[in-house]
Structure 1
Amino acid sequence: MRIAKSALIQPGGNVAYAVSAVAISLFSFAYSLRFGQVSILLYYALWLPLIAVDYRKVLGNYNRYIWIYAFAAIAFLSVFWSAAPSVSMRAAIQYFTQVLCTLIAVRVLDAKTLTLGMVAGIGIVLVYSVLFGHSELDVIDNTYSFVGAFASKNQLGFYASLGLIACFATVFIFGERRPSWLGATGVVGLLSAYCLMMCQSATSVLTAVVVLALMVGLRVVLTLTPDQRKLLVIGGGVAVIVLAVAGVYLGAVDAVLGIFGKDSTLTGRTYLWQQGIKAAADNPYFGVGYQAYWVQGFSEPERLWEEFFIGSRSGFHFHNTYIETTVELGLVGLLILVFTFLKILWGHLRRLIEDIRNDESYLLFAICVLLLIRSFVEIDILTPYNVGTFLFYFCAGKLMSVRRQPDVAAWARQARQPEPLMH
């Protein structure tokens, strides 16, 4: 039986394959530590063979993606000065290949298909966690929390946050109305909210609330003209900065964290940040090498593992993307990462402001904001085989796609129609 190429690599025409591929990829990312090499090989098997279907279509002109590969490139180069060259080499290869697979996904997925795949995949991930999960003591917070089938409650909370965002986008951005998908989004949305509540992760709850509020607000902003949006975005940006500064100095941050039984020291994270800054100062320009700090046998990580009761002596980090990057890849790596992050954020925000309607950037900008907020307390985009890394580079790759303006008359007719009520 012959399978048409479009059923595999044509965005919008490959829904059956693409939704399944995204869903399985997310499951592989979630439980790669549990299932090991099998889940990683399955992830590669979903994307790399598409090159053989039509390499011109799947790979495209990779000269345009050089800036996207910059961080993976510095991770590779760090092998030459790494304190643990073999560790850095293996991790850099894994990171590079994930970026490669993600950019293949960019070429064969549209934003709606990605969203449907996220709904399906996150639903499977959370069901598995509910069925086979457990609670454990969080050494950072010194509390027992439901972690599902993950090693950390923050990872469960991350997937639950993404589940709520994907469900919102499916119904209110892409207007999915088929009963099967409406039912699926309802179930996954409720399951995501339940897991978010059970994991008791302040980071995940707060970021989910902020991003969902942003997405609701953007629905109002997108009814305005591009010129009106520019003024609103500038005013809104200034207001956010003022409120953030006021929140720090007036105690609003402590009040919010107090709801979750925490304070602004984040129960141990600030100590980790101090230790990370101290470690970064020892190799300020190029760092100790990609993933070459948390290596068994090295005195400093051994000390921190012991202080935080990490018996496995693995799976630990400084709980801050920028500190972790500086420790591993120095100020050079940090500048590359920050440049990439800002380019992605500004690129999708600019499309939202200037285009009459751009559902793709509507979703991807919200995901970027989620990753940005979490970057100050997690390292979602620094490790291979991570859903955060996949989404980060997916957002980057989509900036290289051609911007297509929708028909103005059709958009105007749609704008005059009443919006569906949110319940």
Structure 2
Amino acid sequence: MKIAKASLISPDHNFWYGFVAITISVFVLAYSARFGQVSVLAYYALWLPLVLVDYRHSLGNYARFYWIMAFGVFACMSVFWSAAPGVTARAGVQYMSHIVCALIAARTMNVRTMTLGMLAGVFVVVLYSLAFGRYHYDPLDGNYSFVGAFSSKNQLGFFSSLGIYFAFACLFILRERGLGRLLALSGGGLSGYALIASQSATSIIATAATLSVMMGLSLILLFAPRTRKAFLAVGLVLALCVAVIGLNFGGMDLLLGAFGKDATLTGRTYLWAEGLAAAAQTPVVGVGYYGYWVQGFAEAERLWEEFYIDSRTGFHFHNTYIEVLVELGVVGLLLLSIVIARVPAGHLIRLLNDRDNAASHVMFGVTLMLLVRSFFEVDVIHPYVIGSFLLYYAAGLLAASKSVRRPVFPAAYRDLRVRHV
């Protein structure tokens, strides 16, 4: 049987392949630590063979992606000065190959396929966690929290946040109907329940902030392009004023108190101080990618013991920028900051100039969520995690020369329409 190339690599004709590939990828990136190497190989098998189908279309001109890949390349180069070169070499190759898979997805899957695939994937991930999950006692805050099939409530909260956001995007940006709308309602509802069950303050705050900004942006987009920019500038100034007032008059303490947190963010501020102290030892290029949290290294062992991490794995400084400073220094921080800042800013600029750009509309929201979370979590600097996949997918769309406009009814749901009632 001969399969047309377009059904695999053309964004306008490969909906079903893309939908399945993204759904499986989300599940693998959620539970790769649980299911091991076989699941990672399945992830590679979904994306890398597309290069063999049509390498020009799948890869494109990678010189255009220099600013996207610079951080990953530098992470691989850090093997030459890493405190744990073997660990760095393996993790660096994994991260670079993960970036390549995300960029292949950006060139072969349109934003509608990504949105519906993400919704289906998160639905399966959350359903699996609800079916086989467990509660975990946190000795730092003295509470039990539902972590699902993950090792942390924040990971369950993150996937739940993504389910809620992509349900919002499906209903209010892409304006899906039929089975697409049903998927959004069921996936969003289940994700909302899991988010509340996880009691992840970071995820709840990031979700609320993202949806608030997106709803405000939807109002701004009703005006002419020049007026939109003026309203956006005023909104940024007001947001900054509210943030300053809140920090100076106890607003942060009230917000944290609502989630049962104290001013130390359950030990995060101490962890940040330890990270900054470690970064000061090798400030320019760091200790090497994945070169700090290594079993047998004295400082890592001390922090694992202080924070009751019996597994001695899967821990970090709970701040993306401090984590990068420790591992890759100021150089690595600069390279990553370019990606984290440029991607949401670039999609926002495109959207302000063309409100029908569905890709930029959806991707701005999800990268904004990643940006908010980056101050309290580490979502985008590790291989085989959904945060880095989404960031580099959004970056790949931004680097593409063509913009993706919002589909017009009824084409927006032609692949999921109900033929018979």
Place the TM-score, normalised by the shorter chain, in its bin: over 0.9
Spell out the pairing of 1:247-396 with structure 2 (5 A cutoff): 247-396=246-395
> What is the CA–CA distance in structure 1 between the aligned matches of 2:381 and 2:340, rounded to whole Å?
12
> What is the CA–CA distance in structure 2 between the aligned matches of 1:79 and 1:320, rounded to whole Å?
23
CA shift for structure 1 position 406: 5.9
CA shift for structure 1 position 264: 2.5
Partner of 2:170: 170
Change (3 A) 1:11 1:337: same
Partner of 1:418: none
Query: Residues 365-402 of structure 1: CA distance to partner in whole angstroms, max 9, x if unpaired?
Result: 11111001100010100110000000010111111122
> What is the CA–CA distance in structure 1 between the aligned matches of 2:104 and 2:347, rounded to whole Å?
20
Identical pairs, percent: 51
Change (3 A) 1:44 1:213: same
What is the letter of the counterpart of residue 4 of structure 1?
Answer: A
What is the letter of the counterpart of residue 397 of structure 1?
Answer: G
Residue ranges of structure 2 left out of the alignment (5+ in a row): 410-421
> What is the CA–CA distance in structure 2 between the aligned matches of 1:175 and 1:9, rounded to whole Å?
24
SS at match of 1:146: strand
Partner of 2:46: 46
Q: Which stretch shifts more, 335-344 or 225-234?
A: 335-344
8 Å contact from structure 2 (residues 359, 404) kept in 1: no
> What is the CA–CA distance in structure 2 between the aligned matches of 1:281 and 1:270, rounded to whole Å?
17
> What is the CA–CA distance in structure 2 between the aligned matches of 1:383 and 1:129, rounded to whole Å?
22
Query: Residues 97-142 of structure 1: CA distance to partner in whole angstroms, max 9, x if unpaired?
Result: 0000000000101111100000100000000000000010234533
Query: Residues 220-279 of structure 1: CA distance to partner in whole angstroms, max 9, x if unpaired?
Result: 111111101110111111111111111111111111111111123101000000000000
8 Å contact from structure 1 (residues 26, 118) kept in 2: yes
What is the letter of the counterpart of residue 240 of structure 2?
Answer: I
> What is the CA–CA distance in structure 2 between the aligned matches of 1:392 and 1:404, rounded to whole Å?
17
8 Å contact from structure 1 (residues 126, 192) kept in 2: yes
> What is the CA–CA distance in structure 2 between the aligned matches of 1:214 and 1:11, rounded to whole Å?
29
Change (3 A) 1:406 1:86: closer
CA shift for structure 1 position 24: 0.3
> What is the CA–CA distance in structure 2 between the aligned matches of 1:157 and 1:356, rounded to whole Å?
30
8 Å contact from structure 1 (residues 381, 392) kept in 2: yes
What is the letter of the counterpart of residue 167 of structure 1?
Answer: A
- TM-score (normalizing by structure 1): 0.94
8 Å contact from structure 1 (residues 12, 113) kept in 2: no
Partner of 2:59: 59
Partner of 2:417: none
Partner of 2:7: 7
What is the letter of the counterpart of residue 298 of structure 1?
Answer: F
SS at match of 2:145: strand
Partner of 1:28: 28
Q: Which stretch shifts more, 297-306 or 333-342?
A: 333-342
> What is the CA–CA distance in structure 2 between the aligned matches of 1:261 and 1:404, rounded to whole Å?
44
What is the letter of the counterpart of residue 330 of structure 2?
Answer: L
Partner of 1:109: 109
Partner of 2:239: 240
Query: Residues 34-91 of structure 1: CA distance to partner in whole angstroms, max 9, x if unpaired?
Result: 0000110000000000011111111111110111100001101100000000000000
SS at match of 1:145: strand
Verify: 1:187 aligned to 2:181, yes or no.
Answer: no
> What is the CA–CA distance in structure 2 between the aligned matches of 1:25 and 1:140, rounded to whole Å?
33
8 Å contact from structure 1 (residues 225, 356) kept in 2: no
Change (3 A) 1:37 1:208: same
CA shift for structure 1 position 215: 1.6
Verify: 1:200 aligned to 2:172, yes or no.
Answer: no
> What is the CA–CA distance in structure 1 between the aligned matches of 2:239 and 2:139, rounded to whole Å?
32
> What is the CA–CA distance in structure 2 between the aligned matches of 1:139 and 1:388, rounded to whole Å?
27
Change (3 A) 1:286 1:271: same
Partner of 1:398: 397
RMSD between superposed Cα atoms in Å: 1.4
8 Å contact from structure 2 (residues 67, 338) kept in 1: no
Partner of 1:90: 90
Query: Residues 161-181 of structure 1: CA distance to partner in whole angstroms, max 9, x if unpaired?
Result: 000011111111111111x22
CA shift for structure 1 position 343: 1.4
* Stretches of 4+ aligned residues off by more than 6 angstroms: none
SS at match of 2:127: helix
> What is the CA–CA distance in structure 2 between the aligned matches of 1:349 and 1:94, rounded to whole Å?
30
Verify: 1:127 aligned to 2:127, yes or no.
Answer: yes
What is the letter of the counterpart of residue 187 of structure 1?
Answer: S
The total of aligned residue pairs comes to 408
SS at match of 1:137: strand
> What is the CA–CA distance in structure 1 between the aligned matches of 2:229 and 2:287, rounded to whole Å?
42
- TM-score (normalizing by structure 2): 0.95
> What is the CA–CA distance in structure 2 between the aligned matches of 1:363 and 1:78, rounded to whole Å?
34
Query: Residues 164-213 of structure 1: CA distance to partner in whole angstroms, max 9, x if unpaired?
Result: 011111111111111x2222211111110100000001000111111111
CA shift for structure 1 position 217: 1.6
CA shift for structure 1 position 345: 2.0
Change (3 A) 1:232 1:403: farther
SS at match of 1:311: coil
> What is the CA–CA distance in structure 2 between the aligned matches of 1:406 and 1:83, rounded to whole Å?
47
